[in-house]
Chains A and B, each alone.
Chain A
Amino acid sequence: MGPRAEVLLWLAQRASAAVLAACVAIHLATMIYAVQGGLSAAEILGRTRGNVSWLAFYAVFVLAAAIHAPIGMRSVIREIVGWRSRSLDLALCAFAVAIAWLGWRAIAGLFR
């Protein structure tokens, strides 16, 4: 991987971290607020189904996680395990796709 690609990966991880910081804060605050009165799963689904705002919010959340986690794991694996070949990049691309697919699938389940 060339220096420009490595720098862009680094920037993508920092940018996705900034998005995640906001998303995690909103997610936690919403959860704590929502369960105060003892919401049931059915009541939660009643609020998320058909709600485009929550759909968009969690879609962005999943996208940021799918970008952030594999890039961070790339650094950790390269340093700690010493796996530095192209196969690592391919494996982590697959990991990113898996996070995005599983995350968006879960969101679709809450929306539909």
Chain B
Amino acid sequence: MAEAVATLAVSVWRGGAEGRFVGYAVPRRANQTVLDVVTYIQQRLDPGLSYRFACRVGMCGSCAMTVNGRPRWTCRTHVARVAGADGRIEIAPLANLPVIKDLACDLSAFFDKWAAARGSFVGTRTRRDDFARVSPAAPQRRAVDAAIECIGCAVCYAACDVVAWNPDYLGPAALNRAWTLVNDERDGAERARLSAVAGDAACHACHSHQSCTEHCPKSLSPTSSIAGLKRRTGLAALTGKI
């Protein structure tokens, strides 16, 4: 690792729902990520700091935090992108989720809403059936492709205004997941899923502010997925399917 070129002034949230920001001086290095900064603090300055990470390469979705006011995946966020010449960084837990301690949030509600949106695949074939043949060029398959790479980091959930206003709202990630299954021609639970994602606590609560799309580290568009669910549930309601 390159030599430190300066010192970062890092403010980190300490405590639970009630707490305060604590300042740390962290050596600035080349190609340093925000997760590197948090890890440095935990390993060198304050072993009591709680935070989550696993893969460090943008696959697992566990290291999301609020960095200088924006929800981000910290393992793929370079310090150079968020710290100005003054080297100041503020790191807080994700918004819209209960804080367990320091930078670790309780994601139970977030994942419970995936279940409430019927985010599990329901197969219709048995092991004696042949594989389903799904054309990569089929419109439904392409809709799935556009939304399937979600890593469950909850950045969209933390960025969403409607989640902040309506705690029952399923949120962008759960609805995006439901959209991938609605377009999965092998799935057998479309009717139940469309009922689960319809209404004022689900896709119809979305105001299309597009904060989820703006902040998604995987450059997905949950807003588009939710718009798709609005169309599909509308059609289902008019034809008596829900």
Q: Is A75 an interface residue (CB 8 A)?
A: yes
Q: Chain B: which residue is nearest A74 at the CB level?
A: B200
Question: Of B62-70, B134-142, B231-239, which stretch is located at the interface?
Answer: B231-239
- Contact between A80 and B199, CB atoms less than 8 A apart: no
**Number of chain A interface residues as a range:** 10 to 19
- Contact between A7 and B204, CB atoms less than 8 A apart: yes
- Contact between A3 and B242, CB atoms less than 8 A apart: yes
CA separation between A78 and B205, bound complex, in Å? 10
Q: Is B216 an interface residue (CB 8 A)?
A: no
Q: Known: A75-B205, A78-B166, A79-B165. Contact between A7 and B233, CB under 8 A?
A: yes
- Contact between B165 and A6, CB atoms less than 8 A apart: no
Q: Is A8 an interface residue (CB 8 A)?
A: yes
Q: Known: A10-B230, A11-B234, A75-B205. Contact between A4 and B165, CB under 8 A?
A: no
Q: Chain B: which residue is nearest A8 at the CB level?
A: B237
Q: Is B198 an interface residue (CB 8 A)?
A: yes
| Residues of B in contact with A (beta carbons under 8 Å apart) | 162, 165-166, 194-196, 198-200, 202, 204-205, 230, 233-234, 236-238, 242
Which residues does chain B contribute within 8 Å of A10, judged by CB atoms? 204, 230, 234
Which residues does chain A contribute within 8 Å of B202, judged by CB atoms? 3
Which residues does chain A contribute within 8 Å of B166, judged by CB atoms? 78-79
B211 CB to closest chain A CB (Å) equals: 15
Interchain residue pairs with CB less than 8 A apart (18): A3-B198, A3-B202, A3-B237, A3-B242, A4-B195, A4-B237, A4-B242, A6-B204, A7-B198, A7-B234, A7-B236, A10-B234, A11-B234, A11-B238, A74-B200, A78-B166, A79-B162, A79-B205
Q: Chain B: which residue is nearest A6 at the CB level?
A: B199
A84 CB to closest chain B CB (Å) equals: 8
Q: Which of B162, B165, B196, B199 contacts A7 (CB 8 A)?
A: B199
Q: Chain A: which residue is nearest B233 at the CB level?
A: A7
Which residues does chain B contribute within 8 Å of A79, judged by CB atoms? 162, 165-166, 205
Which residues does chain A contribute within 8 Å of B165, judged by CB atoms? 79-80
Which residues does chain A contribute within 8 Å of B242, judged by CB atoms? 3-4, 7
B231 CB to closest chain A CB (Å) equals: 10
Q: Known: A10-B230, A79-B166. Contact between A3 and B205, CB under 8 A?
A: no
Which residues does chain B contribute within 8 Å of A80, judged by CB atoms? 165
Q: Chain B: which residue is nearest A76 at the CB level?
A: B165
Which residues does chain B contribute within 8 Å of A6, judged by CB atoms? 198-200, 204
Which residues does chain A contribute within 8 Å of B230, judged by CB atoms? 10
CA separation between A74 and B166, bound complex, in Å? 13
